[in-house]
Structure 1
Amino acid sequence: MSPPELTETTSPNRVELPGSRGEHFLQCALETSDRARRFYTDQVLDHLNPAMAEFVGRMEMAFISTADADGECDSTLRCGPAGFLHVVDSRTVVYPEYRGNGVMASLGNIMENPHVGMLMVDFTEDLIGLHVNGRARIAPLSEFAELAGGDRKVERWVVVEVQEAYVHCRKHIPRMVPVDRTRDWGTDDVRRKGGDFFGVKANRMSSAES
């Protein structure tokens, strides 16, 4: 079962409603169109309302999804103290890229393809999530220097133009309890330090020596 090509009969549905041609096709095939339409109408905005902006401002993590020009996807996690995600206005979210990111997977994708998806989840209090989809660009530190607050770890910014914002239902979100954020920096155990937690480097070195 594959989605049809866009035609005169399907294009109005694509224009009227958020979402992809594929999801609209499956909604029809699986008879969920009425439920989906209610969700689009009741919950999907093209900006952040005040409650959404407040939610973003107190998050300490965000899951970021990007894809390159060929559609190859990557997802990553960005973390910081509450307030590290900045709502500049109802249509603009800015988050920092900190020193230490050498691979540049997300930023490289954004250079090729500006579409980005953000998911923020409150695991501890409200057990609710917020999706923010939009177009991203990379900005120099100087463009939002005041947002860094003197944090020397901030090297640049990702600026997201909000195109969709909507709730992520709490049904299957687990409740988590914050604990002390200890780090085993004073050890030579690479697994405890986290750098080679999954043993990839160690296995490759072992294979090379054998």
Structure 2
Amino acid sequence: MGTIDTHEALREIIGEAAERTQQKIIGHLDEHARNLIGHSPFVLLATAAPDGSCDVSPRGDPAGSVLVLDEKTLVLADRPGNKLADSFRNIVDNPHAGLLFLVPGMNETLRVNGRAKLVSDAPYFDSLVVKGKRPKLAVVVEVEQVYMHCAKAFLRSSLWDPATWPDRATLPTLGTILRDQMDLPIPAAELDASLDHRSLTEQY
């Protein structure tokens, strides 16, 4: 099978990271990191349970909604969702978290790793209000590592190039997927209408 189960075997195949690559990892949010976070409307939050099971959750808000309190602390507001709370349950049990900030049209991404905690109120919650809605929870991340991720993944995928995007009509709707996966006795069109309504009316 060629399974790689040691660091040594891994390095034998991929080699060591260049010294310059290792040096790019810093321990604080510098002016460039703050600038990118301020322009990012979309971030992926990665967490893990004590047993090692992982979760990655997409978080979206208008650019500038993620607060940078200082060079070691940032805050993400929680918005209404499915209430499974996978990320939050993980954070309660295991504070280690990773974030990947995307800026539309930019091929490079910003990676931030640190320790997260949940907060139900704080003076800065007033700054997390969007469309008149104040969040009930926020994720506060104590920053430990900050670094830029190169453009290769986005260049390989042509993510921002509309010419490479599939025709949405060739893909199933969310209603169709949920109907089939959950074996629901409801027409897909009816599910889609309900989901669209909730998406538009329950964003905040």
What range is the shorter-chain TM-score in?
0.7 to 0.9
Instruction: Say if 1:27 and 1:36, in contact at 8 Å, map to a contact too.
Output: no
d(CA) in 2 for partners of 1:68, 1:39 = 29
Equivalent residue for 2:168? none
Q: Which whole-Å deviations, capped at 9, do the CAs of 1:96-143 have from their partners, x for residues lacking one?
A: 00134411110011001101010012231x321010011100011334
Are residues 132 and 200 of structure 1, via their aligned partners in 2, closer, same or farther at CA, if it must alter by over 3 Å? farther
Indicate whether 1:39 and 2:18 are aligned. Answer: no
d(CA) in 1 for partners of 2:128, 2:102 = 23
Q: Which whole-Å deviations, capped at 9, do the CAs of 1:67-101 have from their partners, x for residues lacking one?
A: 11101001110000011111111111100001344
Equivalent residue for 1:64? 45
**Which amino acid in the other structure matches residue 204 of structure 1?**
D
Indicate whether 1:147 and 2:131 are aligned. Answer: no
> Which of 139, 146, 149 matches 1:165?
146
Q: Which runs of 5+ in 1 are unaligned?
A: 4-21, 179-190
1:175 deviation in Å? 4.9
Are residues 26 and 202 of structure 1, via their aligned partners in 2, closer, same or farther at CA, if it must alter by over 3 Å? closer
**Which amino acid in the other structure matches residue 113 of structure 2?**
N
RMSD of Structure 2 on Structure 1 (CA): 2.4
Instruction: Say if 2:129 and 2:135, in contact at 8 Å, map to a contact too.
Output: no
Q: Which runs of 5+ in 2 are unaligned?
A: 163-171, 186-204
Structure 1 segments of 4+ aligned residues over 3 angstroms from their partners: 25-28, 200-203
Equivalent residue for 1:130? 110
Q: Which whole-Å deviations, capped at 9, do the CAs of 1:21-66 have from their partners, x for residues lacking one?
A: x4xx456423622x3432111x100111101111001100001111
1:153 deviation in Å? 4.9
1:201 deviation in Å? 6.3
d(CA) in 1 for partners of 2:61, 2:176 = 21
> Which of 29, 32, 40 matches 2:12?
29
Indicate whether 1:2 and 2:5 are aligned. Answer: yes
SS at match of 1:98: coil
**Which amino acid in the other structure matches residue 39 of structure 2?**
R
Are residues 108 and 98 of structure 1, via their aligned partners in 2, closer, same or farther at CA, if it must alter by over 3 Å? same
Instruction: Say if 1:99 and 1:155, in contact at 8 Å, map to a contact too.
Output: no
SS at match of 2:57: strand
Equivalent residue for 1:176? 160
Larger % of helix: which?
Answer: 2
Instruction: Say if 2:108 and 2:151, in contact at 8 Å, map to a contact too.
Output: yes
Q: Which whole-Å deviations, capped at 9, do the CAs of 1:172-191 have from their partners, x for residues lacking one?
A: 3135379xxxxxxxxxxxx8
Q: How many residues align?
A: 169
Instruction: Say if 1:123 and 1:175, in contact at 8 Å, map to a contact too.
Output: no
Indicate the percent of aligned positions where both proteins have the same amino acid.
27
Equivalent residue for 1:84? 65
d(CA) in 2 for partners of 1:89, 1:81 = 20
> Which of 48, 62, 72 matches 2:29?
48
Are residues 26 and 114 of structure 1, via their aligned partners in 2, closer, same or farther at CA, if it must alter by over 3 Å? farther
d(CA) in 2 for partners of 1:58, 1:103 = 28
d(CA) in 2 for partners of 1:137, 1:93 = 11
**Which amino acid in the other structure matches residue 93 of structure 2?**
E
